[in-house]
Amino acid sequence: MATETINDVASFIDLENMPASMEEVLKQETKPNFVEGSILKGRVIEKRDNGVLVDIQYKSEGFISSEEFKNWNDIKPDDMIDVFLEQIEDENNMPKLSVSKASFQKSWDKLCSEYKEGQVIKGLMKHRVKGGIIVDLFGIEAFLPGSQLDIAPVRNMDDFIGKEYDLKILKINTDRKNIVVSRRELLEADRADKRSTLLKDMEKGQVRNGVVKNITDFGAFIDLGGLDGLLHITDMSWKRISHPSEMLEIGQRVDAVILDIDNVKERVSLGLKQKTENPWIKIDEKYPVGATIKGRVVNIMPYGAFVEIAEGVEGLIHVSEMSWTKRITKAGEVLSVGEEVEAVVLDIQKDQKKISLGLRQTTQNPWEVLAQKYPAGSKIKGKVRNMTSYGAFVEIENDIDGMIHVSDMSWTRKINNPNELLKVGQEVEAVILDIDPAQQRISLGIKQLENDPWLKIDELYKIGDLLKGKITKITAFGAFIELSNKIDGLIHISQISDEHVKRVKDVLTLGDEVEARVIKIDRDERRIGLSIKAAKANYSEEALKAAGEEVAAALGNIKVGEMLDEDSLSALDAVETSIRKEDAERESKK
């Protein structure tokens, strides 16, 4: 009976496939599910020089290189470790395992479960790559673009390596297992909070401490602790500066005055010079008109030189105020930048912040000296330095010239151009007629050296007098002869002969001595009319009077062209003939 029972039970048991021991039964019951990409528990069964054999309860062990272990020296047989199953069987029919990938996957899963996009996480700056920095986030490498490193452009990203910062997660890509983070967004958010708080606390006129963040040609940006204020170059100093770098450098701490606040645009204007009193407020008290000051030339322009007489205060010496006697065309001819000078305050315009200075006023006005030295009527000698169509300039002394106008060259002759009497370099004697120091003018005269013969013309000549003289000039309307006292008399063409004279030159010649009678004396026009045909002994008074009236009428109708001598008229005729000929030729070509 018992035997049969045993045999019945045995019939239900597969004796060939029966496990050898209870341990094997337990192993079969807890056999892991081998899925590629999963994390399994493995036991180190053998440690070699280059790696370890790991048992994951598969039919064969897997090999893991020693390079994958961060704590290789601490690994020993029978240690249980987490492994990542990359491949169930490789070309050697062994499972392909990885410790580092298991560690990465665990870290990745933990990070993704605890953090989402937009959250803040701490990260360690590991090393630079193209375009940014690789950051360690609890064992996961994330990418921090260079543009997201700081608010301002970063010159050297190596300065951040090895440091830990709070970062904002911008993007988590689960498929590619990568993360992009930003430090800039956190800084901007923090800065916005601080900026808002600062704007509420700020008031115009306050003095705030800040750090020079950036310098440009027009000013500097000052970090006030979360808000940048603009310090314009014009608000840095009362004195002239050409560039902000003359006063500031990046990183420098400064105390600046709040000049203006724009809450809408979140802008703040700052000033440095406002910490001190405006030097222009009491400028007229400190430097009254007429005072002599000392200063330094800080800028040269063609029209003048700017002189700093106090910090923030400059005056202009115009070229016209640089010399009493010389004509200065460029200020650089007299002064140079950096030169110390003395000048006199001529004018102050506080509202426009302008001061006019004079350099020449530091010495006595030589024109005033000459006015005292040479009162009107004094005689001087000097050389003719220059001539114009209306007069000649004669040097008196100290490079000061006086002018002899053509109207002051002769009592008796009408001088059309000074070169009729004078030439450059000639030494002449003249009389001081007037000196005007204010206008810097000196009027001279040559004719004033002698008495005006026309004042005594009645004593010298009378109508009917018979005179002799040489012909000095021939014109189309008559001839001039030189009388005594340098007076010229005119023989009109109608008074040359009883017969009709067509051309004066046909009858008279320069240098001829002729005898003529006075027929007209015109004091207003300073003219003496002569007549050759009236030189006859039997010429009556009535005839003289009639001849004089005839000459006066003829002279009153003389045209401009007739005032020229006959040679000049011939030249004009030749020119006119030539022009007419050219016009005719042009017309014929048409």
Which residues neighbour 494 within 8 Å (Cβ) at sequence distance 6 or greater?
501, 550, 551, 554
Q: Is 226:190 a contact under the CB 8 Å cutoff?
A: yes
pLDDT at residue 325 in the model: 80
pLDDT tens, the chain, 590 aa long: 434 433 443 443 444 444 445 455 444 444 567 887 788 888 989 888 898 888 888 888 889 888 888 888 888 998 888 888 888 888 888 898 888 788 888 878 888 888 898 889 999 999 999 999 999 887 888 999 999 998 878 888 889 999 999 999 999 888 888 899 999 988 888 888 877 878 888 888 889 899 998 999 999 999 888 788 899 998 998 888 889 998 999 999 999 999 998 888 888 999 998 888 888 888 888 899 999 999 999 999 999 999 999 888 999 999 999 988 888 889 999 999 999 999 999 999 988 889 999 998 888 888 888 888 889 888 989 999 999 999 999 998 878 889 999 999 988 887 889 998 899 999 999 999 999 888 889 999 998 898 888 888 888 888 888 888 899 889 888 999 988 878 888 999 888 888 888 899 988 999 989 999 888 888 888 888 898 888 876 777 777 777 777 777 766 655 434 444 444 444 334 434 443 444 444 444 43
C-alpha–C-alpha distance, residues 489 and 471, integer Å: 9
What pLDDT, on the 0 to 100 scale, is given for residue 423?
A: 92
∠ CA(428), CA(421), CA(522), 5° rounding?
A: 115
DSSP-derived 3-state class of residue 532: coil
Q: What is the pLDDT of residue 12?
A: 38
Whole-structure pTM value: 0.47
- Beta-carbon contacts of 527 under 8 Å, excluding residues fewer than 6 positions away, are 490, 520, 521, 555
Length of the chain: 590
State the pLDDT at residue 580.
Answer: 44
**Residue 417 to residue 427: CA distance in whole angstroms:** 18
- Ranges assigned E (strand) in 388-465: 391-397, 400-405, 427-436, 441-445
**The predicted structure's pLDDT at residue 556:** 60
pLDDT of amino acid 1: 40
For residue 454, the one-letter residue type is: W
- The full 3-state SS of 338-359, as one line of letters, equals CCEEEEEEEEEECCCCEEEEEC
pLDDT of residue 554: 66
In the structure encoding, which two tokens stand for residue 297, read together?
A: 């030339």
Q: Is 514:497 a contact under the CB 8 Å cutoff?
A: no
Q: Which residues contact 244 (CB under 8 A, 6 or more apart)?
A: 215, 216, 217, 218, 219, 220, 231, 233, 236
Q: Would you state the pLDDT for residue 24?
A: 52
Per DSSP, the residues of 281-337 read: TTHHHHS-TT-EEEEEEEEEETTEEEEEEETTEEEEEEGGGS-SSS--S-GGGT--T
Domains and CATH numbers, the chain: 30-105 (2.40.50.140), 119-187 (2.40.50.140), 202-275 (2.40.50.140), 283-362 (2.40.50.140), 368-449 (2.40.50.140), 457-558 (2.40.50.140)
